[in-house]
A and B are shown apart, each in its own frame.
Chain A
């Protein structure tokens, strides 16, 4: 999709929307967000094995479906809309992409089929306690051992890091800095010296973990010291997918705001008949539609190997971050007092908007990156 979806893509979206409406109503979201794992294993089985969602953008030669980022983006947009609680973004979007971008042929053959099938849940650990998703944010060291490598350091803000079976980790050669000396590694969840702690995430529909590494045995993924490029490409895909996930959530919020404004009566008339609310909702529609256009365009740019994809990824992420958060703020406001209650569902999306706003870098970071990519 650059400017329009194919009939097949639209059909895919509507099948997925029905599935998620059925499996991820807010009652389920509320149940799962209070659990440690934050995922219903039966729903995960269905979405991976019956719908093949965990395999979408993985090539058929590694057990995948062989679709593109545009299809992956449709999936995450719908999941963002339904606020699905599952390690999908961690495993399919982030870890599988990192393996695809950096792994050798043998490693991809070894790792991807299980991730495709949803039997292995993987995650990607880049940021540390500084909370920066760039090469500079990676301080964790890797040193060569008799067998494989040993990792030392702390990873944080790792999606589903406390439950994933496999962790893809970015670390650097001791003494290196910046883009030099970066490599990806894979670490088993039960490796000795790995301590995993679930963080108290404000958005409890998205689980975060801190991972402490003390001489943890790790296998090199791809070339030693050469991961800066694939790290950047992986982060571009992740930002593009996150933007699409965000516009899905934003649209759902906007719809709920219109619905409420049209139903709620004060002063003898629907509050939606007041221009103050009509105009606010027209602005919300504009903002969400613009962000959708950017998110869709970015997904297509990734599929077309557009030279400008890093700039467009940042553009889409910044647009979605502002649009989602603004929509969430306005949606609470339009609901009035009820919108600030725990029982009303708005806060579930508000919190997802807030966590997505900063995850993978905030809007200001992505705007600056856009300027740099455009040589301004």
Chain B
């Protein structure tokens, strides 16, 4: 594989960028050029807009793009998960039809997995898809769907057979959101924002060719999506860096980023804003209180230690060493940090903690912290599920006995929705 030395990749890409990169191009026009050349998703297969580049060399490509300020393909939101899933499980027709417009950002995707009755237990989905004539007809409700209000397509996990065990009766579809029978309703959270949606499916139709793999393979395909979701969990911030340069392509990209990030604008607050703690301690005068000082120190110790733990995990990864337990702990640590930060912010803020909006300190930011941190120990896998994963995969402890996996799904107790 001598063609994939770092030097060769860098050299070839420099020549190509020199010749083609132009910030006055339109975003879609430029991204079509990236798709045609394979430089937009170089680790994808050659026949599908990539260059078969080993994943380890992708940072070299990013590096060269950054050097000249070139904009990359669309990477935000669910579209990356859709692409990875289609690449792994889709037919040529799927790849032909969807991949290019994922790269150009022309299509937006959403993930229709969670339901009111199945959160942690995704394989317990009850949304039904039934074959009627030559169409699948879908009925049910999905929830926590980011971007559904402007999505074009959805990745749908639906139950096609209730007479087999739960993991075997699921099927994975691509569903067109712009059709009768798909109703998207914003879901308002306890902090007042509506970052997610509920999606009601009433006799929505899907042509059989938009099934991924076979009937009953849904859980296997969903696992691919979830794996990429976990892997990409902290990649979001990296791509959300619009520059303030004025050329046409940057302006178009900035607009795209703003739309994609809109649902996440309170996310820093849900993590507890540890970055504000020391400043607030001085500003509020709380730093003279010996009890609060202890709480501040406990929080900062936990936050610093967690930061260094994730650096350890990354260093091991970069050195190609087997990952130790430190790599599985970040999410759980983030929950505890957010909770502790909430307590410390409250203690420092005192009676003003009762206020919200622009009467709350820092123009409402403090109030938003106080009512947003409960999200972090739930979203993307609850603390309890994280602890199951840590104890079973890292500590090799035995699984809890289960009562839902080896009997027909029809007989498994379910929520009344």
Contact = CB atoms under 8 A, between A and B. Distances in A.
Interface stretch (A33-41, A96-104, A268-276, A341-349): A268-276
Contacts of B290: 368
Contacts of B336: 286
Contact of B301 (A4, A258, A318): A318
Interface string B296-307: 111011101110
A49 interface: no
Given A3-B315, A258-B395, A282-B332, A318 B297 contact: yes
Nearest to B305: A290
Contact of A367 (B301, B387, B395, B400): B301
Nearest to B302: A290
Interface stretch (A79-87, A183-191, A292-300): A292-300
Nearest to B304: A315
Contacts of A315: 300-301, 304-305
Contacts of B296: 371, 376
B400 A273 contact: yes
Contacts of B384: 275, 279
Contacts of A364: 294
Which one of A279, A283, A292, A371 has the greatest number of beta carbons of chain B within 10 Å? A371
Contact of A293 (B278, B282, B309, B392): B309
Interface residues of A, number: 38
Given A269-B401, A270-B398, A376-B282, A297 B391 contact: no
Contacts of B387: 275, 278-279, 282-283
A258 B309 CA distance: 21
Interface string B278-295: 100110000100100110
Contact of A273 (B321, B333, B401): B401
B132 interface: no
Contact of A376 (B293, B302, B398): B293
B326 A258 contact: no
Contacts of B311: 2-3, 293
B228 to A, nearest CB: 24
B397 interface: yes
B398 A272 contact: yes
A266 to B, nearest CB: 13
Interface string B373-397: 0000000000010111011101111
A159 interface: no
A285 B325 contact: yes
A262 B314 contact: no
Contacts, number: 129
Given A269-B401, A273-B397, A282 B312 contact: no
Contacts of A4: 312, 315-316, 319, 321
A3 B388 contact: no
A126 interface: no
A251 to B, nearest CB: 10
Contacts of A371: 287, 293, 296-297
A261 B392 CA distance: 13
Nearest to B321: A4
Nearest to B307: A293
Contact of B325 (A270, A289, A294): A289
Contacts of B309: 289-290, 292-293
A19 B397 CA distance: 29
Nearest to A275: B400
B297 A370 contact: yes
Interface in A141-172: none
B397 A272 contact: yes
A12 interface: no
Contact of B394 (A285, A296, A318, A376): A285
A283 B401 CA distance: 21
A319 interface: yes
A293 B308 contact: yes
Given A262-B397, A273-B398, A315-B301, A367 B315 contact: no
Contacts of B321: 4
Nearest to A283: B387
A376 B299 CA distance: 14
Interface of A: 2-4, 258, 261-262, 269-270, 272-275, 277-279, 281-283, 285-286, 289-294, 296-297, 315, 318-319, 364, 367-368, 370-371, 374, 376
Given A279-B391, A318-B297, 5 more contacts: A269-B401, A286-B332, A293-B312, A294-B304, A371-B293
List the 7 closest A-B pairs by CB distance, nearest first: A367-B297, A278-B391, A290-B305, A3-B315, A282-B387, A293-B308, A4-B315
20 contacts: A3-B312, A4-B321, A258-B395, A272-B397, A273-B398, A275-B387, A281-B391, A281-B397, A282-B332, A283-B332, A286-B336, A290-B305, A293-B312, A293-B326, A297-B308, A315-B301, A319-B301, A319-B305, A368-B294, A376-B282
Interface of B: 278, 281-282, 287, 290, 293-294, 296-298, 300-302, 304-306, 308-309, 311-312, 314-316, 319, 321, 325-326, 329, 332-333, 336, 384, 386-388, 390-392, 394-401
